[in-house]
Chains A and B, each alone.
Chain A
Amino acid sequence: MSKQRLDARFKEILARGDKLFVPYIMAGDGGLDALNERIQFLETCGASAIELGLPFSDPVADGETIQEAGIRALKSGATVQGVFDTLKVSKERNMPIILMTYMNPVYRYGIEAFAKACVDAGVSGLIIPDLPMEEEQMITDILTQHDIALIRLVALTSPTTRQEELKKRTEGFLYAVTVTGTTGERQTFTDRVHQYLAHLKNGANTPVLAGFGVSSEEQVKMLSGHCDGVVVGSRIVKAFHEGDRAIIKAMIEASKQST
């Protein structure tokens, strides 16, 4: 049920001729009390799904903005259990939730227990940036049993054979990392990005979303033009933190205008 919710929603949006827009927010930033309202707001703005960060003390794939959001979340008392409990309250939402966290919090919670908790909280998928395919067998069977999508990340540095393998293995969508680096706003992208996205799109049996660094309406349009849509993280986290939500609406609007 969980994974299907995500697949069905993406299919429906793409069938309309729209692009996908997945905002990232940090659970517990601004307090866990703010979480369901923020999800609601993003749904109203027209988000396709939400990537929800579970804070971790040592997020090596993240730049400054998301690191600081994680520290704020932990200081405000956010816990893995607290996030699951908060999500459970509105588990019948239409909006698919994808959890993004690192391997250690999942391992400590217990992989099986974590998968069950995802089901109970209506979570559709998982993104674990420090779990490359070499190590993923510790988690894949359990996620399959519980119908949770494991979304694979592919990188600009991945050689073609790895790109093809990741394309084959991924569930929900393929997360095409668009910078050689950590998350965080970027002014520009390498010229190789277009070719890279085109290559990933070719023969993919899931949608391909571009993410890392995307932070303006122009970039949303530009990147969405070369794949199925974008994930926007740091810019959204900053917008919520600074209480300036207009940019979020504007970026989602821009996504709708891209073809």
Chain B
Amino acid sequence: MYQQPNETGHFGQFGGRFVPETLMPAVLELEEAYNEVKNDPDFLETFHYYLKDYVGRETPLYYAERLTKKLGGAKIYLKREDLNHTGAHKINNALGQALLTKHMGKKKVVAETGAGQHGVATATACALLGLECIVFMGAEDIKRQKLNVFRMELLGAKVEAVHHGSATLKDAVNEALRYWVSHVEDTHYIIGSVVGPHPFPQIVRDFQSMIGRETKQQFNEKTGRLPDALIACIGGGSNAMGMFYPFVDDASVKMYGVEAGGHGISTGKHAATLTGGRVGVLHGTMTYLLQDDDGQITEADSISAGLDYPGIGPEHAHLKDINRVEYVSATDQDALFGLKLLSETEGIIPALESAHAIGYLPELAQAMTEDQSIVVCLSGRGDKDVETVKAVLGGQSDE
């Protein structure tokens, strides 16, 4: 049976707790607090109550018939995380960790955000539970995702622009970590993906794993079987981990993680960490990273702010090394194609992040047969991206 991480927070050679001593006690306290609640019926009941009555779970598993016909090949099902309150899977983890914050007796929360989805989800959970919330966001991302900034502010959160470095997600994580170092005594860091020091990758995975559990049950109800393949986009890797984790021991289920190929892997301008990166240590964890020969982290590049990260969750690094998951990439162009394809065939505008998984679908579906099935984790809806997409495709729709 697959059982990771080990007691020191490592997934094979990856993971761990590479944080300054000032944070170590907080990281250890968090681990202890999480161990207290993870099997506690009261905590889980509260979590599930909010997931059901507030978030709107469970999310549907939808058979995309027209898309299936259009691509010709395996049957395609969509796990509709885009239908969650706030529009993406991010709320699952934000809510779980906000409840954990209360359990620890802390009243303040810091978070980072790339696309703004995790920031909005955290601001939402904090408003719901009466917690103070500050969100760090790269200045570049603020430009790309103006509406999400305003949403966070409406929800009562304080948004701090980060101008350092590439002014995107990596820099927002740096700043959130620095803020946490300085306010660790009364503040919890709600990290937005399966990244960071142990126990974050485990906590975020567990708080997202209802995606895979529901999928397994829903698919079984519909077909009496397991799906043949799962596919999800990967920034830090939380929607993918949530989908994959409950299936890791089901050897017949193939899994595909789609990283952001940006302008193409060969151009060097991409965010495909597992495809184009090397092992190192960043943001508290050992994992694959985009870096130069001197160990300096290089800038990631993707049309989608939520995938624009030079690292990846350590558990994905491990699943790659043990060959359990296949990691592939889709370029900006593939994602735009995927976004249009899903919009036109199914009437669902996906988030640009999720559109990377759709962008890789034709290749995968056509290599499979009609009696096989693929479940796509549709991690979020595209409302936040309409402006970005219009800027790129604008010429065509203005004609």
Contacts and interface: CB of A to CB of B under 8 A. Distances in A.
A153 B293 contact: no
B21 A74 contact: no
B295 A182 contact: no
A245 B383 CA distance: 55
B20 A132 contact: yes
A254 B362 CA distance: 71
B12 to A, nearest CB: 14
Contacts of A109: 294-295
B344 interface: no
A79 interface: yes
B178 A177 contact: no
Contacts of B295: 56, 80, 104-109
B165 A57 contact: yes
A190 B92 CA distance: 38
Contact of B296 (A74, A106, A130): A74
A60 B181 contact: yes
B17 interface: yes
Interface extent on A, as a size class?
Answer: 35 or more
Interface string B158-200: 0000001100001000100110011011000000000000000
Contacts of B293: 108
A61 B22 CA distance: 9
B26 interface: yes
B295 to A, nearest CB: 3
A58 B20 contact: no
Given A105-B296, A129-B20, A134-B24, A182 B182 contact: yes
Contacts of A181: 22, 178, 181-182
A108 B178 contact: no
Contact of B297 (A67, A81, A104, A132): A104
B181 A180 contact: yes
A154 B24 CA distance: 10
Interface stretch (A37-45, A157-165, A196-204, A236-244): A157-165
B8 interface: yes
Given A57-B296, A180-B181, A104 B280 contact: yes
Contacts of A191: none
A58 B166 CA distance: 11
Contacts of B174: 58, 60
Contacts of A158: 21-22, 24-25
B20 A130 contact: yes
A83 B367 CA distance: 52
Contacts of A104: 280-282, 289, 291, 295, 297
A153 B20 contact: yes
A61 B182 CA distance: 10
B178 A102 contact: no
A117 interface: no
B16 interface: yes
A58 B170 contact: yes
A103 interface: yes
B19 interface: yes
A246 B177 CA distance: 34
A232 to B, nearest CB: 19
A253 B191 CA distance: 45
B180 to A, nearest CB: 9
Contacts of A131: 18
Contact of B25 (A107, A159, A182): A159
Contacts of A159: 25
Interface centre among B26, B174, B283, by most A CB within 10 Å? B174
Contacts of B280: 104, 107-108
Contact of A103 (B8, B23, B181, B281): B281
Contacts of B284: 130
A92 interface: no
Contact of A156 (B22, B170, B279): B22
A103 B279 CA distance: 12
A159 B165 CA distance: 34
A68 to B, nearest CB: 9
A155 interface: yes
A79 B24 contact: no
Interface in B347-375: none
A154 B21 contact: yes
A166 to B, nearest CB: 8
A226 B20 CA distance: 24
A180 B16 contact: no
Contacts of A107: 279-281, 295
B17 A135 contact: yes
Interface centre among A63, A135, A156, by most B CB within 10 Å? A135
Given A60-B174, A60-B181, A108-B280, A134 B17 contact: yes
A108 B21 contact: no
Given A104-B295, A182-B182, 9 more contacts: A55-B296, A56-B296, A58-B165, A74-B296, A102-B281, A107-B281, A129-B20, A157-B22, A180-B185
27 contacts: A57-B297, A60-B181, A61-B20, A104-B280, A104-B282, A104-B295, A107-B280, A130-B18, A130-B281, A132-B19, A132-B21, A135-B18, A153-B20, A153-B21, A155-B21, A155-B22, A155-B24, A155-B25, A157-B21, A157-B23, A157-B184, A157-B185, A158-B21, A158-B24, A181-B178, A182-B181, A182-B182
